[in-house]
Amino acid sequence: MRTLVLSDIHANLTALEAVIQDAARFDRVFCLGDVVGYGPDPNECISLLQTLPQLDVIMGNHDAALCGIIDINRFNYEAQRALNIQASMLSAASRDWLELLDIEKDISEIHMAHGSPREPIWEYLTSNYLALANFPAFSSQICLVGHTHVPSIFELNNAHKVRLLLPKQGDLWRSSKRFILNPGSVGQPRDGNPRASYVLFDDEEQTWQFRRVAYDIPAVQNRMRALGLPSKHVERLERGA
């Protein structure tokens, strides 16, 4: 079975469509949260996700804010502004769908959380130290996270130390050790590469392939400007930062 692993779509329909086309063949989908926030297409991204096979989605911090589950004032000014604009756009059906998402989820030997296993909504896993502190918070071999918008792997070795890997386009990962994997961001990468980031997992070969795909960034930027979304969010798409 091939699993399409996505995170941080952030209402960027053009990027999501490019990822689906590039992945070509997959049997199920794991989405690690933040379907909405920042971008111009919240309803359209939700609608497209709902058509994908064997879909499992968890809630991200932007999803939670649009549902009123967390306070929008916890976000910075630009993120608040984007969320307020999206709140006026979000359909009742989209809001209902977001409200029903799980905060975290276990599927077979895989744990899923948006931020981290110990703080599923908010914590950013940005260092070996933070990753090490999170391994006791899940019992499976594998944990999938998003939130940082950076494709990465934290592997726990036999000496109870963590090593960080930053995979590039096409890299194939396989490990018998415990690890935390982040597929990067579909809709707003922040690793210096503006191409949409995702992973394909083959559960027969036990391989995780990191993939990047280009999309029409200027078209997304034009839609964002037309909606009055923050210029910071518009400009960062072309920088991948």
pLDDT band, very low/low/confident/very high, at 74 (cuts 50, 70, 90): confident
Asked if pLDDT for residue 228 goes beyond 80, the answer is yes
Asked if pLDDT for residue 159 goes beyond 80, the answer is no
Predicted local confidence at residue 115, as pLDDT: 97
Asked if pLDDT for residue 214 goes beyond 80, the answer is yes
CB 206 within 8 A of CB 197: no
Give the tens place of pLDDT for each residue, 81-90: 999 999 999 9
Predicted local confidence at residue 86, as pLDDT: 93
Please, which residues bridge with residue 179 across strands? Answer: 142, 155
Q: What's the CA gap between 238 and 219, in Å, rounded?
A: 11
Give the tens place of pLDDT for each residue, 166-175: 998 888 999 9
Give the tens place of pLDDT for each residue, 107-127: 988 999 999 999 999 999 999
DSSP state of 212: E
- Enter the tokens of residue 135: 């391994």
Q: What percent of the chain shows pLDDT beyond 90? A: 89
Least confident of 27-41, 46-60, 130-144, 150-164: 150-164
Predicted local confidence at residue 158, as pLDDT: 78
- Domains identified in the chain and CATH numbers: 2-239 (3.60.21.10)
pLDDT band, very low/low/confident/very high, at 160 (cuts 50, 70, 90): confident
DSSP state of 204: T
More confident residue, 61 or 74: 61
Q: What's the CA gap between 216 and 149, in Å, rounded?
A: 19
Q: What are phi and psi of 203, to 5 degrees?
A: -80, -10
Q: What's the CA gap between 13 and 179, in Å, rounded?
A: 30
Predicted local confidence at residue 147, as pLDDT: 97
The residue type found at 3 is T
pLDDT band, very low/low/confident/very high, at 73 (cuts 50, 70, 90): confident
Predicted local confidence at residue 71, as pLDDT: 87
- Quote the mean pLDDT of the chain: 95
The region, left, alpha or beta by phi > 0 then psi within -120 to 50, assigned to residue 34 is: left
Q: Hey, is 16 helix, strand or coil? A: helix
